[in-house]
Amino acid sequence: MKSPNAPHRPRLLVLRGEDLPPGHERIDDHPGLGEVVYATADELPARLPGAHALLVWDLFSEALASAWPKADTLTWVHAATTGVDNLIFPGMVDSDVVLTNSRGIFEQPIAEYVVGQVIAFAKDFHHTWDLQRAHRWRHRETERVAGRRALVVGTGPIGRTIARGLSAVGMEVHASGSRARSGDPDFRSVVESSLADRGADGAPTLAAALPEADYVVVAAPLTDATRGLVDRRFLQLMKPTARLLNVARGPIVVQSDLVAALRKGRIAGAALDVFEDEPLAVDSPLWELPGSVVSPHMSGDVVGWRDDLVDLFLDNLARYLDGRELLNVVDKGRGYVPG
């Protein structure tokens, strides 16, 4: 997509969190910018007027929605995340403001996290670590990874990179997406992301794929279609021996239904990197339920990831200033970058 018209030496506003972007001097001293202003969420309404571009560095902030009426000159918003659900609100969707994201930064680290969790489950590493701390020698047999069936919910770049990682260790990888199809280069098959018995034109759906999967990996964007997708029925369709992994967004999983499924042994385990509310409450049952693995929304965060985010933004900033095609333009109606 062609860049929106950038005025001569535009004003850039950075919605910051606790920390500034690393090496922010590269942004501050950019010769093509007229002014760079930093604002916290509370300061955003006062500093948004007159801004032409906005870098959302406060990764999951929803402050822009309430401050939107002050966006009188804004033409471009760049998110330092892949998911942009916090930026998809009616004012943004209905506007001509171009929204871009940071697709390309997190795919490989997240895929490595998923492969690691699958291997940890299969090889019973969690139990091994517990036994080591207790100084107990207990021989067990573990599971194979090769030949197991994985179902990836989401066929975007993250889901595809996960599929390639799981295929590399010998797994049979299928997926669910917006439509059922065959002949996909990364998945054995793709079913429709619906729990109906049959999808459009009789196409296969999750209802048929879930009972066959040993590992179900949630890697879809949070949209109206995916919010609450992993609910009681979804979990009941899974094998009792299957594990769930969520590296997408917490609200895709109905957390109370997952807690009930783990308590009753309906599924064998869950590795969760995202939650309905973050940080996870200290009294949440998920900390201690059998088979539950909790990590603090870090699956994509490897050493140097913030620098990579700045590099990507500066690339897009140069494109914006030159009137060239922007990278990672989000389809605001869908809530993600298509293709």
212 catalytic per annotation? no
Cα–Cα distance, 45 to 70 (Å, whole number): 6
The catalytically annotated residue of 278, 324, 325, 334 is 278
263 catalytic per annotation? no
Using DSSP's 3-state secondary structure scheme, residue 90 falls into helix
- Do 257 and 231 meet the contact criterion of CB atoms below 8 Å apart? yes
135 catalytic per annotation? no
Residue 12 buriedness (CB in 10 A; 0-12 / 13-18 / 19+): buried
Cα–Cα distance, 96 to 224 (Å, whole number): 22
- Do 35 and 59 meet the contact criterion of CB atoms below 8 Å apart? no
**CB proximity list for 9: less than 8 A, separation 6 or greater:** 32, 33, 34, 35
DSSP class of 261: H
Given the structure tokens 């209802």, which residue do they identify?
A: 207
Tallying the residues shown for the chain, one arrives at: 339
- Do 252 and 226 meet the contact criterion of CB atoms below 8 Å apart? yes
Distances (CA, A) of 311 to 12, 98, 99, 140, 254: 16, 19, 17, 47, 36
Tokens representing 330 are: 């989000």
The catalytically annotated residue of 174, 249, 266, 319 is 249
**CB proximity list for 60: less than 8 A, separation 6 or greater:** 81, 86, 278
Cα–Cα distance, 314 to 196 (Å, whole number): 44
CA 278, 176, 209: angle at the middle one, nearest 5? 110
Active site residues: 249, 278, 297
